[in-house]
Amino acid sequence: MKQKKMLIAHRGLSATYPENTLPAFEQALKLNIDAIEFDVRMTRDGVPVLSHDERIDRCGSGKTGLIRDFTFEELRKLDFGAWKSPEFAGTRIPTLFELLDLVDSRRPDLFLCVELKEDDCRCARLVIEELKRRIGSTTVPSSAFAPKCFILSTAWTRACSSMDFAMKRTLSCRKSGSI
């Protein structure tokens, strides 16, 4: 049996745009892709934001430190685009909700590859509940054979243990130690 290959925009269109930012995902959604991959971290005040790196040093200008040590308001003041090119200066760190709103408005059928970057059960639960709410309200059919998203997380066991079996199949949650 021949398996279909998926074209996945890793951190959005990150070769050309600042990774894990709305401009990177806006451009990726214009292409004939099957999925997007993105990384979620939690701020000190509990807002899920998109960032691959644990620290803001590489992609966020003006400060150094861990994402989880900043509030969302503090992070939102930083530039997360200029590191890639001056044309992206002023790009802000997006929230999970902003990305999901963008996907819902342009490509609601798109497959999501969600990587929860830290072993943070609070973040995992928040992400799972938000995806559950959105998948449950969409007209796009979900089944065990055609899931809407894939969640990669070391916190999966604790975060997903209370989910019902059907929701686990729909979200395709999987425990992994290779984050």
Q: Catalytic pick from 10, 11, 41, 148?
A: 10
Evaluate if residue 168 carries a pLDDT over 90: no
Evaluate if residue 157 carries a pLDDT over 60: no
Stretch 9-38: mean pLDDT: 96
pLDDT tens column, 55-104: 999 999 878 999 999 999 999 999 999 999 999 999 999 999 999 999 99
Q: Catalytic pick from 11, 41, 52, 117?
A: 52
Higher pLDDT, 169 or 102: 102
- Please state the separation of Cα 177 from the chain's center in Å: 18
Q: What integer pLDDT is reported at residue 161 of this predicted model? A: 58
Higher pLDDT, 1 or 150: 150
SS3 for 23?
A: helix
For residue 163, indicate whether it is catalytic. no
Sign of CA dihedral 124, 104, 92, 12: positive
pLDDT tens column, 117-145: 887 788 888 988 888 888 765 443 433 33
| Lookup result for tokens 């973040």 | 123
Residue 127 CA to residue 149 CA, distance in Å, equals 11
Residues 6+ apart with CB under 8 A from 126: 42, 46, 48
Residue 89 CA to residue 97 CA, distance in Å, equals 22
Residue 118 CA to residue 160 CA, distance in Å, equals 15
Evaluate if residue 178 carries a pLDDT over 50: no
Evaluate if residue 16 carries a pLDDT over 90: yes
Whether the CB-CB separation of 49 and 94 falls below 8 Å is answered with yes
For residue 10, indicate whether it is catalytic. yes
Residue 102 tokens read as 């963008």
> Domain locations in the chain?
8-175
Evaluate if residue 38 carries a pLDDT over 70: yes
CATH 3.40.50.300 is the classification of domain 8-175: no
Bridge partners of residue 49, in order along the sequence = 41, 95
